Structure 1
């Protein structure tokens, strides 16, 4: 108590002078005890013998280095500030303590096919028109040939549906690119395989089929002219096409009625949509049809026509029996 800074200095110098013959190993232990960073310890040679003439200055230099590094460690909160001994065991780096990633986790997503956008663009350029940036009728025909499909095949309609094509006989670059990305395909072989899978799914997935069915009406319209009603002849072709794999019992009689009545020029959107419900409701027996319900008038006319045909057939059969 009451000692000034000069007293501490004199005492420190006395301690240094009495320890002038300290061995180098002891100094190294002090340095190791305080875990002086290697970059600071390497600032002075450790293997060279201490020169007798300069041992006082060297010892002072090392003691200062030890004190400086001890203070440095204390400033980061690793030590208490006293000459507290730290374990000689060096802690393992943090990354060594992390658990290894399981093989199953490291390989997540590896089974997903890698789709190349450049391959899709190359495929598109192979079929696109020479004058317009779109795949038109000739290009679609060539694409169908490579897919080993007829242009009027059901799978071509499925492809147009998956590309979300805005109109018939025309695939734009954005439609083709995004559609194949969604299908996770970038080659002719992959398109063939995917179309087979989707076609099988449509046989059992009614919601997917309904989406395809609604798309088909839009697909048949001439959007360039603002068409909103599907021409009857186009509607007949598309009805036959969309029901390729799940033909309702009433379909042929319905299409025959449309073909015989030339005054039916077009099919509105609500009639197209409701026909799917109509097929599910009446089945093959039109006797369950109720004309008081909100069916399109075209269905009323069709059922009336079919009933007349049936009555005529019954009358003719009765006349034959009487004869």
Structure 2
């Protein structure tokens, strides 16, 4: 009789087969060798299963050659891909240029801005994942997309890195309009592991409404990161009982809590007055 697999193992087999087109028996062998981790198994499959310094050197050389294809100014900026090359590269990866998967791709290669790629970030990012061709990178990102909605650790990494992508020039903060657009993308995307809204509390809409009316400043790194922490807590505790005046939240979040209580929840609870006779 064939061995009995757990539901998780069956899901891993199905996922691995769908990405690699391998037969079931071969899929099981590869998955067993990778502790039934489908994502690692897929990555290993597309990397050719190689290893050692020779394989790394060959992969690095291939990645450098691939990077060179997208440069606009090879003589003047040999280690930089600009806006046109970046867009061309992302299109070849078949990611949504306005979607969260493009942010995930740019986080992997540590892009300094939305429209630039450095040689170091590109080579090191994909070398670490053993993906030295467009096809392997596409497969990696395709697998990542299936994982993202349930992977809060990866989502957090992408979310925090987006702050650096959203900045312009040497600025230390993100313009409010840009930050709001990225919050919309990160907290409402089908790929998001933190969808900041519930049937009774449209948190993201409230947050944007509050900021538009009450916050005219830019968004610094602390505010950006604390918003994610606050969002996750509100999804766990919609009454916001975790918040108190002694908490060390940024003042903008303190103000938002008061705004929600007063503007969306009718103010402080009204005590029933005793009737006078």
Using the size of structure 1 for normalisation, the TM-score is: 0.56
Q: Is 1:124 matched up with 2:67?
A: yes
- Counterpart-to-counterpart distance in 2, 1:140 and 1:165: 10
How far 1:199 sits from its partner (Å)? Answer: 2.7
The correspondence for 1:236, drawn from 174, 180, 186, is 180
* Cα shift at 1:248: 1.6
Corresponding residue to 1:279 among 228, 231, 240 = 231
Q: Greater relative contact order (Cα 8 A, min sep 6): structure 1 or 2?
A: 2
CA gap of 1:293–1:179, structure 2 versus 1, over 3 A, is same
Name the counterpart of 2:139.
Answer: 193
Comparing 198-207 with 271-280, greater Cα deviation is found at 198-207
2:81 to 91, 113, 135: 135
Contact 1:124 / 1:176 at 8 angstroms: preserved in 2? yes
Number of aligned pairs?
204
**Does the aligned pair in 1 maintain the 2:64–2:123 contact within 8 Å?**
yes
1:147 aligns with 2:93: yes
Long gaps (5+) in structure 1:
1-103, 315-323
CA deviation profile, 1:28-87 (whole Å, cap 9, x unmatched) = xxxxxxxxxxxxxxxxxxxxxxxxxxxxxxxxxxxxxxxxxxxxxxxxxxxxxxxxxxxx
Q: Quick check: 1:162–1:183 contact (8 Å CA) kept in 2?
A: no
The CA deviation at 1:110 is 6.9
Q: Residues of 2 paired with 1:293 and 1:252: CA distance? A: 24
The answer to whether the 8 A contact 1:286-1:303 is kept is no
**Match in the other structure for 2:109:** 163
**Do 1:216 and 1:242's aligned partners in 2 also have CA atoms closer than 8 Å?**
no
State the alpha-carbon separation in 1 of the partners of residues 120 and 63 from structure 2. Answer: 11
CA distance in 2, matches of 1:138, 1:193: 23
Retained in 2: the 8 A contact 1:167–1:220?
A: yes
Where do 1:1-323 residues align within 5 Å?
Answer: 111-112=49-50, 116-130=59-73, 131-133=76-78, 134-222=80-168, 224-225=169-170, 227-243=171-187, 244=189, 245-246=192-193, 247-249=195-197, 250-261=203-214, 263-283=215-235, 285-288=238-241, 289-310=243-264
Structure 2: gaps of 5 or more residues: 1-32, 34-46, 198-202, 269-277
CA, structure 1 residues 241+183, in 2 after alignment: closer, same or farther (shift >3 Å)? farther
Distance 1:150 1:203, change over 3 A: closer
Q: Alpha carbons of 1:297 and 1:172: their partners in 2 closer, same or farther (altered >3 Å)?
A: same
How far is the alpha carbon of 1:202 from its aligned partner? Answer: 3.0
Superposed CA deviations along residues 236-290 of structure 1, whole A, max 9, x for unmatched, are 12222333223122223212322344x4221121111111221122227344242
Distance 2:144 2:50 in 1: 18
TM (norm. structure 2) is 0.64
Q: Distance in 1 between matches of 2:212 and 2:135?
A: 39
CA–CA distance in 2 between the matches of 1:140 and 1:264? 32
The equivalent of 1:10 in structure 2 is none
Asked whether the equivalents of residues 236 and 255 of structure 1 are also in contact (C-alpha less than 8 Å), the reply is: yes
